[in-house]
Amino acid sequence: MGWDCVYGDTLHGSLVLQQTPASLMVQTNQTVTLSCKTETSPSTTRIYWLRQRQALSANSHYEFLACWVSVNKTVYGQGVEQEKLTVLGNSPRNLLKLQSVKPADSGVYFCMIVGVPNLIFGKGTQLSVVDVLPTSPQPTRKTSTPKKKVCRFPSPVTRKGLQRRARLRLLKQFYK
């Protein structure tokens, strides 16, 4: 982290950072804007943006991305692609804009300020960058199978009776 970002940047008292959105899933090559709003802080407050690439564990660490120093100056972390990342400050809101995001940009992004005696963090934004957005499952409809129509043959007794009736009708028509 550059000395330009830390010098003379301490706040006393309680301060809250409202960071939005809480989570975001976007497709590759999209532009993402994250917001950090400070409550009761002077307009000269320096906002730091950090990223945590993996889930919180013993091996996880924060990567310093950038610090908004003033209207005309942003200090970037080592290895940060400045053409992809822009910090816009307009007290009390500070924005981190990421352009042409890739899956490697996924992680939890935090805004932070230096307070006394502690560092004050926003709640973080979980950014997931995917090549294809997942589709929501379509509601499953139970398709009813058509009921088979059963043709019942008359019982042998009924069949004999029907045959007799048919013969009688035929004979009646013949002998008329």
Domain-wise residue ranges, the chain: 3-130
Cα atoms in the Cβ-side hemisphere of radius 13 Å centred on 157: 0
CATH of domain 3-130: 2.60.40.10
What's the start-to-end Cα distance of the chain, in Å?
A: 117
- In this structure, are strands 23-27 and 125-130 parallel, antiparallel, or unpaired? parallel
Q: Are 5 and 119 in contact (CB under 8 A)?
A: no
| Residue pLDDT, tens place only, 117-133 | 788 899 999 999 999 88
Q: How confident is the model at residue 7 (pLDDT cuts 50, 70, 90)?
A: very low
Q: What's the rounded Cα separation, in Å, for the pair 7 and 77?
A: 16
| Residue pLDDT, tens place only, 99-121 | 999 999 999 999 998 877 788 89
For the full predicted model, state whether its pTM sits above 0.85. Answer: no
| Angle (CA) 109 2 126, round 5° | 5
Two tokens, residue 115: 């307070």
